[in-house]
Amino acid sequence: MTAAKMKPTDLHDLVLKQLDDDQAQEIVSIPLDGKSSIADHMVIASGRSTRQVASIAQKLAEEVKKAGFGPARIEGLPQADWVLIDAGDVVVHLFRPEVRSFYNLERMWSFEGAEKAAGSA
């Protein structure tokens, strides 16, 4: 798919599919359109270990670039307790479960319309 034919939801769909394919857990998507200028969607997910969190983040960044959405910025890889992937219109937070419950971003950013992504456990 060329950049000219991509719809705004294509990146979001790609992110959710890739997280599901890589067995991320508790995937939650929070729509930010009209509520924040940082992105259209915030996606929050967990990995079982720092190794899985790092692997999911690197694979996601590769797939975003390969699909033609440009390079995604990654922060937090060395420790991989909390990794942020900024893909432009979609911002992804990947956590180890303990770190996720400590920061509780879902609660901080909860708006009407936060939804659990299909296929997430």
Residue 62: its H or E element: helix 50-66
Instruction: Please give the single-letter amino acid code of residue 46.
Output: S
Q: What rounded mean pLDDT belongs to the chain?
A: 88
- The count of domains in the chain is 1
Do 46 and 28 contact (CB within 8 A), yes or no? no
The answer to the question of residue 53 being in a domain is: yes
The answer to the question of residue 55 being in a domain is: yes
The answer to the question of residue 1 being in a domain is: no
Residue 114: what pLDDT? 47
CATH of the domain at 23: 3.30.460.10
If we measure between CA atoms, which residue out of 35, 37, 38, 45 comes closest to residue 15?
A: 45
Q: What is the pLDDT of residues 76-91, one digit of tens each?
A: 999 999 999 999 999 9
The whole-number average pLDDT for the span 55-66 is 97
Residue 6: what pLDDT? 73
Q: How far is CA 111 from CA 31, 41, 52, 69, 114, in A?
A: 8, 12, 29, 27, 6
The answer to the question of residue 22 being in a domain is: yes
The answer to the question of residue 121 being in a domain is: no
| Res. 5 pLDDT band, cuts 50 70 90 | low
Q: How far is CA 43 from CA 5, 26, 35, 38, 73, in A?
A: 23, 10, 15, 13, 15
As a whole-number percent, the residues of the chain with pLDDT over 90 amount to 72
Which domain covers residue 71, as residue numbers?
Answer: 6-116
Which residues of the chain form beta strands (DSSP E)? 25-31, 41-46, 73-75, 82-86, 90-95, 115-116
Do 69 and 19 contact (CB within 8 A), yes or no? no
The whole-number average pLDDT for the span 34-53 is 93
The answer to the question of residue 38 being in a domain is: yes
Residue 116: what pLDDT? 55
Find where tokens 């969190």 sit: 53
Position 43 pLDDT exceeds 60: yes
Lowest-pLDDT range of 15-19, 22-26, 29-33, 39-43: 29-33
The whole-number average pLDDT for the span 111-115 is 50
